[in-house]
Amino acid sequence: MSEEHFRQLSPEAPELEPIIAGLFGEYSARYGDFFARDAEIELTEWYLPPQGMFVVLERNGEIIAMGAYKAFDAQTAELKRIWTRDDLRRQGLAQRVLVELEQRARRAGYRQVYLTTGFRQPEAVRLYLSHGYQPQFDTTRDTEEYSKPPFDGRLRFTKSLHHTVTAGAADEIQ
């Protein structure tokens, strides 16, 4: 029987390098340099408590999925880097990461979440729609249309986090 658990990490933890490389490799395969023209410079401190967090899902000590959030504004957490190793897809791992990030953001005091995904990620769009995320774009349009001006290729979603007390202690940063 395999053992799975979430662990909070610093975004600079060396054990993240292979899964981060997988994420950016997939982005490159799907989009080439499409997003390079307005790539966001990210700072490590954005993903550190209390305003942010980076978590991994481990199975038998191996990182199999990840996700993060950072402050978008005082009330909103922006979810980022939700990704599952490609050889482990279709097991509900991204869904588990999504739910974990929502719970942790709620406990951190955020009232809503915001996220973007790319126009060539239909599986991500389906995931977010199936979990109550509100699209900030017309879902009846071909998503490739969002890669052309006046759009920037990002499909935006929001979701309210209902404030309910969630049991569970926060993990230590390692």
Query: What is the pLDDT, as a whole number, of residue 166?
Result: 45
Q: What is the mean pLDDT of residues 111-128?
A: 94
**63-107 pLDDT, tens per residue?**
999 999 999 999 999 999 899 988 888 889 999 999 999 999 999
The residues, any chain, with a CB within 8 Å of residue 75's CB and separated by 6 or more, are 110, 111, 112
How many of the other CB atoms lie within 10 Å of CB of 101?
25
First vs last C-alpha separation in the chain: 26
The answer to whether 43 and 157 have CB atoms below 8 angstroms apart is no
Indicate whether 24 pLDDT > 90.
Answer: no
Query: What is the pLDDT, as a whole number, of residue 137?
Result: 96
Query: What is the domain partition of the chain in residue ranges?
Result: 4-160
pTM of the model: 0.85
- Single-letter code of the amino acid located at 24: F
**7-18 pLDDT, tens per residue?**
999 988 999 888
Taking alpha carbons only, the member of 107, 103, 56 closest to residue 82 is 56
Strand ranges for 24-150 from DSSP E: 53-59, 62-73, 76-84, 112-118, 134-135
The answer to whether 68 and 22 have CB atoms below 8 angstroms apart is no
Out of 3.20.20.540, 3.40.1260.10, 3.40.630.30, 1.10.10.60, which CATH number does the structure's domain 4-160 have? 3.40.630.30
Q: How far apart are CA 103 and CA 121, in angstroms?
A: 24
Indicate whether 121 pLDDT > 70.
Answer: yes
